[in-house]
């Protein structure tokens, strides 16, 4: 990995880790949602820069790739926003989480994950028209690695359900 790639990767990891910690420390409410929005915007900005450095597209590939990528990201970001709202809902209610609410939130999360995979699958054919197969695969690998970093940081801020706690039925 070149020094520029390594530096960008390290920067992304640091930004994601620090921003997630700040978002988690702010607590619930409007301030937390503002911090979460800042985190998402930061991730989205760095994501494109990291891809640009690591894909090293030709001018012709870049001309066709970036508009398609922007469309793809718009769809993926909408799903990510839904997941963030589900997480906010969970964090706001996890202390008094009913069995019904726990299942409803889990169903909503799983539905969003299914939709995320469907979007990724649908765009693969379009990316493959623009990029060689190995570059398209590299794109998805880089996306997956960035998502893994983000998921790890977010997971660290989400409290786990206390299964033995008595809660109301609803």
Contact indicator for 75, 119 with CB cutoff of 8 Å: yes
Contact indicator for 167, 97 with CB cutoff of 8 Å: yes
**Residue 101: what pLDDT?**
94
Nearest CA to 113 among 82, 71, 155, 145? 82
* Cα 43 to Cα 49: distance, rounded to the nearest angstrom: 10
Contact indicator for 142, 55 with CB cutoff of 8 Å: yes
How far from the centroid of its chain's Cα atoms is residue 97's Cα? 25
Q: Which residues, in sequence order, are CB contacts of 96 under 8 Å at separation 6+?
A: 167, 168
Measured distance between the N- and C-terminal CA atoms of the chain, rounded to whole angstroms: 52
Render pLDDT for 78-122 as a digit per residue (tens, 0 to 9): 999 999 899 999 988 888 899 999 999 999 999 999 999 999 999
**Residue 42: what pLDDT?**
75
**Residue 29: what pLDDT?**
53
What separation in angstroms does the CA of 132 have from each of 100, 117, 136, 139? 47, 21, 6, 11
Its pTM stands at 0.73
Render pLDDT for 42-60 as a digit per residue (tens, 0 to 9): 776 788 888 999 999 999 9
**Domain range list for the chain:** 3-157
């Amino acid at each position: 990995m070149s020094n520029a790639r390594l530096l960008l990767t390290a920067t992304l990891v640091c930004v994601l880790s620090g921003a997630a910690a700040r978002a988690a420390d702010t607590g619930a409410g409007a301030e937390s949602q503002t911090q979460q929005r800042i985190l998402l915007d930061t991730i989205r900005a760095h994501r494109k820069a990291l891809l640009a450095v690591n894909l090293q597209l030709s001018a012709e590939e870049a001309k066709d790739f970036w508009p398609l990528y922007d469309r793809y990201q718009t769809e993926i970001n909408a799903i990510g926003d839904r997941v963030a709202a589900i997480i906010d809902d969970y964090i706001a209610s996890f202390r008094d989480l009913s069995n019904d609410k726990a299942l409803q939130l889990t169903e909503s999360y799983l539905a969003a994950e299914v939709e995320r995979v469907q979007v990724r699958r649908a765009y693969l054919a379009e990316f493959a028209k623009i990029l060689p197969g190995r570059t398209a695969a590299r794109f998805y690998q880089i996306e997956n690695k960035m998502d893994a970093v983000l998921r790890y940081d977010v997971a660290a801020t989400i409290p786990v359900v206390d299964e033995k706690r008595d809660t109301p039925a609803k």
